């Protein structure tokens, strides 16, 4: 994933003090650098750690949930009946438990950096410290944030913004740093968006927001402001090179031009978009326009290879043309494009001298066809899944070896997560019975 997109048969990466020193033929590296330790994977694929550019770690606590609700008929009802009651039910212990289990699952599946937004109006102050503690225990890199919203009141929105600013000001401790997160334009006033953007930019922080995920966002802005979603965000001043827009499903050609002009980054979440039946984002058009597009999971499926495969396939179906989306394009979205979205392209996202040694090794269990420089993209996009991840290294530290974590016990994490879930689901049912969706 370097500038030339080189693939090296029987290649190697030489690492010192957590940094990549050289990349090249394995025999050359052995002879020239005389390494003290050599990890060899004759049947493996060595590649940059994967980047999940948009997630909600707490979504893992809904897996298999016994929610006993009327099935939502559209995305708006999914928010009203599922996500917002879950938000109301979350506490700081749930935030820790979900961050611990979701971080571990992503690590085991080859993710070395992710960007998370947490939502919970009853768990705002200090919640990012709990999430940071969990992520640091697993050992991953992350940008984390609280999803500010005025769904209930302006005061709630300000508290969310201030939690982000508090955490951003602390700067990085370990491998985790803060960013500014705003929910979506249909739950935010111009005034709060302007305030959050101004303060984030004073601190040099990234800004992320959900954009036109469902039609509600678009219709809200058209009815209230007479503008499409991206037109409104452009007017307010949110759009810029520091802005990371999640979804961007319901955008037209004019909005794509605005995104290109303002230099924003977009995160495609294909599996979540399918789950919520919101539509298919015009990703080929964005790539054609030169917009940087990364890949996320939106808190749904934490195996990045499933999201890679979905991004590879869904646009072929939407266009009824198998030429749309190449294996290289979707692998770029999952690596260097994700790093670029968060200003980390000089640090991670590719295997190049001077960068951090964030490296994964894939060892497919079955290789029915040759695995070499001519076939590797086809294997990665069409066949590999998270279960094929053998080794994960972050800053030169092996966090996964032979498919097992080195820092943390899986059963301990399962126990913490399952213990939190039983209480969370109970609170969810009580809150969802009381929630008046007509006020939302």
For 30-56, the pLDDT digits (tens) are 999 999 999 999 989 999 999 999 999
Position with higher pLDDT, 433 vs 4: 4
- Phi, psi dihedrals of residue 294, rounded to the nearest 5°: -110, 180
Residue 356's CB: how many other CB atoms inside 10 A? 24
The per-residue pLDDT of the chain, averaged, comes to 95
State mean pLDDT over 308-325.
98
pLDDT confidence tier of residue 65, bands split at 50, 70 and 90: confident
Which of 401, 261, 265, 428 minimizes the C-alpha distance to 333?
265
Q: Above 70 in pLDDT, residue 75? A: yes
pLDDT of residue 426: 85
Q: Above 50 in pLDDT, residue 439? A: no
pLDDT of residue 87: 86
Q: Above 80 in pLDDT, residue 67? A: no
- Three-class secondary structure of residue 71 per DSSP: coil
Residue 290's CB: how many other CB atoms inside 10 A? 9
Residue 102's CB: how many other CB atoms inside 10 A? 31
Q: Count Cα atoms within 13 angstroms, Cβ side, for 107.
A: 31
Contact 296, 247 (CB under 8 A): no
| Whole-angstrom distance, CA of residue 391 vs CA of residue 418 | 27
pLDDT confidence tier of residue 124, bands split at 50, 70 and 90: very high
| Whole-angstrom distance, CA of residue 112 vs CA of residue 349 | 9
The percentage of residues in the chain with a pLDDT greater than 70, rounded to a whole number, is: 97
pLDDT tens-digit readout, 254-273: 999 999 999 999 999 999 99
What global pTM score does this model have?
0.96
pLDDT of residue 173: 66
pLDDT confidence tier of residue 227, bands split at 50, 70 and 90: very high
State mean pLDDT over 172-189.
92
Contact 356, 397 (CB under 8 A): no
Is CATH 3.40.1260.10 the right assignment for the domain spanning 46-405? no
Q: Above 70 in pLDDT, residue 440? A: no
3-state secondary structure 296-318: CCCCCCCCHHHHHHHHHHHHHHH
pLDDT confidence tier of residue 108, bands split at 50, 70 and 90: very high
Which residue matches tokens 């102050």?
125
pLDDT of residue 435: 55
Q: Above 90 in pLDDT, residue 238? A: yes
Output DSSP code: residue 386: G
**DSSP per residue, 121-136:** TTS-TTHHHHHHHHHH
State mean pLDDT over 372-399.
97
Q: Above 60 in pLDDT, residue 4? A: yes
pLDDT tens-digit readout, 12-29: 999 999 999 999 999 999
Q: What are the residue ranges spanned by the domains of the chain?
A: 11-40, 46-405
Helix axis angle for 127-138 and 154-169, nearest 10°, is 40
| Whole-angstrom distance, CA of residue 316 vs CA of residue 318 | 6
pLDDT of residue 350: 98
């Amino acid at each position: 994933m370097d500038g030339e997109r080189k693939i090296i048969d029987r290649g190697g990466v030489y690492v010192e003090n957590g940094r990549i020193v050289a990349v090249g033929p394995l025999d050359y590296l052995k002879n020239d650098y005389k390494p003290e330790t050599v990890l060899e994977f004759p049947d493996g694929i060595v590649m940059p750690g994967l980047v999940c550019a948009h997630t909600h770690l707490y979504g893992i606590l809904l897996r298999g949930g016994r929610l006993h609700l009327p099935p939502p008929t559209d995305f708006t009802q999914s928010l009203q009946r599922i996500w917002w009651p879950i938000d109301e039910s979350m506490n700081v212990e749930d935030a820790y438990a979900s961050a611990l289990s979701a971080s571990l699952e992503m690590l085991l599946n080859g993710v070395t950096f992710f960007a998370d937004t947490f939502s919970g109006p009853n768990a705002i102050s200090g919640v990012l410290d709990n999430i940071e503690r969990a992520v640091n225990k697993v050992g991953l890199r992350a940008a984390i944030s609280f999803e500010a919203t005025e769904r209930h009141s302006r005061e709630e929105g300000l508290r969310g913004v201030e939690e982000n600013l508090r955490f951003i000001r602390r700067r990085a401790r370990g491998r985790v740093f803060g960013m500014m997160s705003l929910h979506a334009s249909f739950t935010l006033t111009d005034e709060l968006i302007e305030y959050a953007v101004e303060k984030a930019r004073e601190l040099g922080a990234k800004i992320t927001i959900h954009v036109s995920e469902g039609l509600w966002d678009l219709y809200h802005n058209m009815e209230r402001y007479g503008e499409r979603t991206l037109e409104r965000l452009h007017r307010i001043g949110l759009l810029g090179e520091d802005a990371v827009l999640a979804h961007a499903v319901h955008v037209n050609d004019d909005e794509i031009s605005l995104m290109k002009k303002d230099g924003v980054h977009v995160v495609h979440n294909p599996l979540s978009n399918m789950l919520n039946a919101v539509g298919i984002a015009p990703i080929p058009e964005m790539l054609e326009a030169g917009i940087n597009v990364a890949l996320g999971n939106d808190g749904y499926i934490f195996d990045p290879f499933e999201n890679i495969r979905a991004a590879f396939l869904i646009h072929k179906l939407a266009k009824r043309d198998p030429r749309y989306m190449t294996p290289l394009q979707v692998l770029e979205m999952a690596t260097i494009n994700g790093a670029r979205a968060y200003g980390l392209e000089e640090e991670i996202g590719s295997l190049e001298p001077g960068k951090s040694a964030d490296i994964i090794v894939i060892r497919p269990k079955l290789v029915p066809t040759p695995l070499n420089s001519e076939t590797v993209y086809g294997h990665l996009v069409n066949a590999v899944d998270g279960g094929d991840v053998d080794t994960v290294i972050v800053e030169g530290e092996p966090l996964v070896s032979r498919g097992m974590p080195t820092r943390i016990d899986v059963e301990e994490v399962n126990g913490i997560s399952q213990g939190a879930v039983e209480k969370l689901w109970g609170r969810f049912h009580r809150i969802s019975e009381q929630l008046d969706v007509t006020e939302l």
